[in-house]
Chain A
Amino acid sequence: MQLLFINGSPRGKKSNTGRLMEHFIRGFTETSGSTCEVEYLVKYKNNLKALMEKFSASDNVIIGFPLYIDAMPGSVKAFLEALAPLEGRADLPALGFMIQCGFPETAHIRFTARYCEKFSHRIGCRFLGCILKGGCEGLDVQPTFLTEKYFNLFCMLGADFGKTGKLDEDILIKLARPEHLSAQNMAMVIPFINQALWDAQMEKNGVLDLSFDRPLMP
């Protein structure tokens, strides 16, 4: 089975999307005969047509991206627009999406996932599904006990996809947890993220006291 994974993260190789993608591909390539090619959208920003051609020559494509202001990043939208000439053509690849966000709840991504599904129908690709995962900002600084569990799930999802050509619904549901946070969970998670992720970086840069600056105030 052949797969083209398009990493649409504006951060390119050093992206949280890429971390999740690696684990998915690790599982996918376990099946003998499965081949996966990875392309980084940032490399094609001035030549989207070349990536569109790779897209149309593939059997299966997954487009991965981070949620930017509740939707796809502008650069991913530019690529989706570049796919317009393929609309309605025969032999288009099966298409799936991998969308992650920094917010701890996956609920934030559901709306854009619905757009992605409609996009697949509009262009005429068989829809594989959307792999959704919240809580993905700063994967490099998240403790291993947190990341290990879902990295394994990404690997299992990839392995199963390599065998069946389908994204397993049960694993997708597990990955999407938590869909919402309980009040108790929220009270714990919010101060942790604010301090460990954001204040720590501001402190390192010596700007913690400028945190709430309003440089564009009219």
Chain B
Amino acid sequence: MKFLILNGNPLGGNGNIDPYIDHLVEEMKSAGHDVMAIALRDLKISPCIGCFQCWVKTPGLCSINDDARDITRQFIASEHVILASPLTMGFPSYLLKNAMDRNICIVHPHLEEVDGEVHHKKRYDRYPVISYLLEKEASTDEEDIAILKDIFRRQAINMWSSVGFIHFTQSPVEEIIHAITVH
């Protein structure tokens, strides 16, 4: 199975998510998975400017030619994407969100009905499962996690994906290895 880990830990971020990801990658490789981890902070990813050129001018391709294009290419080529980030102010980092915003080109502007709601049509035949590896902040509580779970579920619906696991760095790496092995 082809995995992509997007590490949204910003420059100068504290905490232990970077070594956690290193350990996770090692364990995944020894379990035989094809895995690539990318640190978003090392790349040039401008925010989406809402121009919709990726829908109406160059269908499927963002008008901004920076590293986000390659991230989107890797995203769609993967079977399972793990979005990794510390929580800050109750949400994953702006760095990760900027990268995800640039992925809007993987769906089509046309709307259709999905389970009684309006959503965008597919552009590609298949989309990766999306999982989360998060580092809690001191104030993270059950309500924060419930809010995030809902938003992640909604994001998955709009990207023709599903949420795999939501895992926190306080639990051992082996739990993820178990989750992806039985997935």
Chain A residues in 8 Å Cβ range of B91: 71-72, 77, 80, 115
Please choose the segment from B22-30, B94-102, B174-182 that sits at the chain A interface, where 4 or more of its residues have CB less than 8 A away. B94-102
B106 interface hit (Cβ, 8 Å): yes
Measured CA separation A201–B51 after assembly (Å): 12
**A198 engages B55 (CB within 8 Å):** yes
Measured CA separation A214–B88 after assembly (Å): 35
**A74 engages B98 (CB within 8 Å):** yes
Number of interface residues of B (CB under 8 A): 57
CB distance from B127 to the nearest CB of A (A): 12
Cβ-closest chain A residue relative to B77: A218
B104 interface hit (Cβ, 8 Å): yes
Measured CA separation A112–B147 after assembly (Å): 8
A49 interface hit (Cβ, 8 Å): no
Query: B124: which of A10, A84, A186, A214 is its contact (CB, 8 Å)?
Result: A214
B155 interface hit (Cβ, 8 Å): yes
A54 interface hit (Cβ, 8 Å): no
**A104 engages B49 (CB within 8 Å):** no
A9 interface hit (Cβ, 8 Å): yes
B164 interface hit (Cβ, 8 Å): no
Chain A residues in 8 Å Cβ range of B104: 68-69
Interface residues on A, range: 35 or more
Query: Which residues of A in the span 178-215 have a Cβ within 8 Å of any Cβ on B?
Result: 180-181, 183, 186, 189-190, 193-194, 197-198, 201-202, 205, 207, 210-215
Query: A118: which of B47, B50, B99, B143 is its contact (CB, 8 Å)?
Result: B143
User: Which A residues lie at the B interface, using CB under 8 A?
Assistant: 9-11, 15, 45, 66, 68-75, 77-78, 80-81, 83-84, 103-105, 107-108, 111-112, 114-115, 118-119, 122-123, 180-181, 183, 186, 189-190, 193-194, 197-198, 201-202, 205, 207, 210-218
User: Which B residues lie at the A interface, using CB under 8 A?
Assistant: 47-52, 55-61, 69, 72-73, 76-77, 88-91, 93-101, 103-106, 108-113, 116-119, 123-124, 139, 143-144, 147, 150-151, 154-155, 158-159
| Between-chain CB contacts (< 8 Å), 19 pairs | A10-B50, A68-B50, A69-B100, A69-B103, A70-B158, A74-B97, A74-B98, A75-B94, A81-B94, A83-B89, A111-B150, A112-B151, A115-B147, A119-B89, A190-B118, A207-B57, A214-B123, A215-B58, A216-B106
